[in-house]
Structure 1
């Protein structure tokens, strides 16, 4: 068995042991040249999957490109009122009063703590059509962005027959009352593939999606993500892990770039769908780290 075949077997075992369906892709970020590495780990990498908050990486790219084009001043101050703010447990979503921040800091909050309200505000500012067009422009044939978080929550409330988002999530996480929810199907909500996700990250890391300043900003905020319970658990403290999680019901994902000192970065995307919809499924979270480590290890190589 080759090292790549062995890695694929380890990834499948990690998913099986955690009781989840899983899809993964990993590839080296091939430096600054035009050559793409032919070494990869593929476990269902072209199967459509639910994005969850992973879509926010495309909003981040759209923000950087809008700044580069002079369409947006990242330092401009914007006040987000509490009334129309998208709910959520983190960032300005969790606050009560009007909040004034720069576009740049709203974008930072969108990624580092997966701030839903910040994401929808930035998404609207850079242009929903611009974000929706990015997958085609970037060569991501399996990716579709169908609205933002507020749109997804409106569908969730409608599908569950709940009065509000909190009640809808209570229904979603009740394993005794199964309800068909469109958000859990890639056919209806925002969707991607694991291979598209690593291509997106590779293009970003190679500086092909934004200016040097924009690329540095994107890398910095992804590295600052506050989510140590998934991909990060698979790697030692010496490795830098930049990433973005996505969560909705039984769906738990993370895409990221892992960099060991003196080595080429490796882009890896892990998408899972658990058998249960509990609000917390630690085994599913841990499986993302285990699978990511198994995929990254045989792809590690010294930086030239």
Structure 2
């Protein structure tokens, strides 16, 4: 039987075994019961901040300030760089706002995200999180600006320099005071609001939940819940030494649990399977404890 009192210690032990420093918040969407490990610690959100952008997009659509079927012309030049989606494509394209949102959430397309951000605006993203009482959550810049800052801080050696811990230490993108930021608790509260239809109207809440359920990455949060009848919807975030995911785990008995996990590692390698998997491991520990009462 799961003992709620020792759950934080078990989560900390799992983080230590994986060689990471971790922060976690988990909430029962319906009862409000929660578990946290450094849940109010300020973190750089990386691509997890695409979630507040998505909520702001749908809030504006619900208010009639934009039409999600609005078409956007996307020339090949000037796109925010990245390894997926439009960011990696070579030719001109034309997509609706809602299809840009699909690319942003399912494959974490940076170019799609910044096209949406240009339409929605940073002020609207921050207004949305403020309206929901998420006081620690703030968008400072575009996703392209974050990538540009990493390139500048890395210096002339480029990506090779990111193997140097001294270079990592000076990256502005990893400083919450100078980058898009939140806390695990804020992000879990945001997800709970989306799942309860408190963040948007039910129609738009359903659209957000659908997109989050289509994310293609199974190696972090979803890895902790390898069951055909358990549904995981999430959004990952990655920067050098930073791995994160925020999402909701839904059980067939109706249980719904919002979880946000952020990790940092001293190792600079881009591929660290244990650092990815511990996000699912610790989320499972927290959700099991919430389900046990």
Q: TM-score, normalised by structure 1?
A: 0.92
1:102 is matched with: 96
Q: Is it true that 1:130 corresponds to 2:110 in the alignment?
A: no
1:104: how far off? 0.5
Q: Is it true that 1:282 corresponds to 2:276 in the alignment?
A: no
SS in 2 for 1:187: helix
2:161 is matched with: 171
1:241 is matched with: 232
> Contact conserved, 2:197 with 2:205, CA < 8 A, in 1?
yes
1:42: how far off? 0.9
Report the Cα distance in structure 2 between the residues aligned to 1:28 and 1:184, rounded to whole angstroms. Answer: 29
1:279: how far off? 1.3
Report the Cα distance in structure 1 between the residues aligned to 2:8 and 2:49, rounded to whole angstroms. Answer: 26
RMSD (Å) for aligned C-alpha atoms: 1.8
Aligned residue among 254, 257, 260 for 1:266: 257
Unaligned runs of 5+ in 2: none
Matches within 5 A, 1:86-165: 86-162=80-156
1:2: how far off? 7.4
Alignment CA distance shift 1:259-1:2 (3 Å): closer
1:275: how far off? 1.1
1:159: how far off? 1.2
2:179 is matched with: 189
Q: Is it true that 1:64 corresponds to 2:55 in the alignment?
A: no
Q: TM-score, normalised by structure 2?
A: 0.95
Unaligned runs of 5+ in 1: 31-35
| Structure 1 runs of 4+ with >3 Å offset | 167-170, 173-179
Query: Which is further off, 170-179 or 234-243?
Result: 170-179
Report the Cα distance in structure 1 between the residues aligned to 2:28 and 2:169, rounded to whole angstroms. Answer: 40
**How big is each residue's C-alpha offset from its partner over 1:130-179, in whole Å with a ceiling of 9 and x where there is no partner?**
112222221112111111111111211221224xxxx6433224458655
> Contact conserved, 1:172 with 1:179, CA < 8 A, in 2?
no
Matches within 5 A, 1:21-32: 21-30=21-30
Report the Cα distance in structure 1 between the residues aligned to 2:163 and 2:196, rounded to whole angstroms. Answer: 39
**How big is each residue's C-alpha offset from its partner over 1:74-124, in whole Å with a ceiling of 9 and x where there is no partner?**
112211112110011111111001111111100111001000000000011
